[in-house]
Amino acid sequence: MREALLEMSTIEDVYALPDGERAELIDGVLYMMSTPTRKHQRIIGEVYYAISKHIKEHGGNCEVYFAPFGVYLFDDDSTYLEPDVIVICDGGKLDNKGCHGAPDLVIEVSSPSTRSRDCLLKLRKYEAAGVREYWIIDQEREQIDVYRFEKERVDKYSFNDQIPTDILEGLSMDFPVMNIQ
């Protein structure tokens, strides 16, 4: 009996997708991405706006981007991610294709179809790569888990809280005033 070989995907498979189709690649496994919901997009927009405004008002070296923006965590072609929002404070990691190495802050808006990937696979990848802070915003449960890897701490919040970040001094996301419903 012949054994079936599982063919692993590479970044070239992501690049070969038809226009309009998006996917992430984790350890050679391709995960197709569905069209986000309206609430998902509102959350991303509000979070991006708050971070962008803070950076403009306070200066510094950090830059903020939103999906689709490629993140190549490791120097290989088996993992490629498109987080919802990222902050990068080392401009040397950026080129026209995206971010090469760990962003300082990664924010994912999770849904039932992405929850296990966001909370398990990506969590481990981001920590191993050296991401300093990782937020998982659960839009259905209206909860935010903030992994502060450098402090080896997880803080849990709700959409009724102001949420501080250690990456951008003085910034707290004021979820109660955000227009995310």
pLDDT exceeds cutoff 50 at 162: yes
- Cross-strand bridge partners of residue 134: 106, 147
Q: What percent of the chain has pLDDT over 70?
A: 96
76-92 average pLDDT score: 94
One-letter identity of residue 23: A
pLDDT exceeds cutoff 90 at 27: yes
Domains of the chain in start order, with CATH, are 37-67+81-178 (3.90.1570.10)
* CA separation for the pair 159, 139 (Å, rounded): 9
How confident is the model over 35-46, as pLDDT tens digits?
899 999 999 999
How confident is the model over 48-62, as pLDDT tens digits?
999 999 999 998 899
pLDDT exceeds cutoff 60 at 91: yes
Residue 73 contacts residue 126 (beta carbons within 8 Å): yes
Which pLDDT score is estimated for 4? 42
Which pLDDT score is estimated for 7? 65
Nearest alpha carbon to residue 154 among 138, 133, 169: 133
E strands, 27-171, where? Answer: 29-33, 63-66, 70-72, 85-88, 94-95, 98-100, 105-110, 133-138, 143-148, 153-158, 162-164
Nearest alpha carbon to residue 133 among 91, 166, 168, 88: 166
pLDDT exceeds cutoff 80 at 2: no
Its pTM stands at: 0.92
Which pLDDT score is estimated for 3? 45
Could you tell me the pLDDT band of residue 146, with boundaries at 50, 70 and 90?
A: very high
Nearest alpha carbon to residue 118 among 99, 149, 93, 144: 144
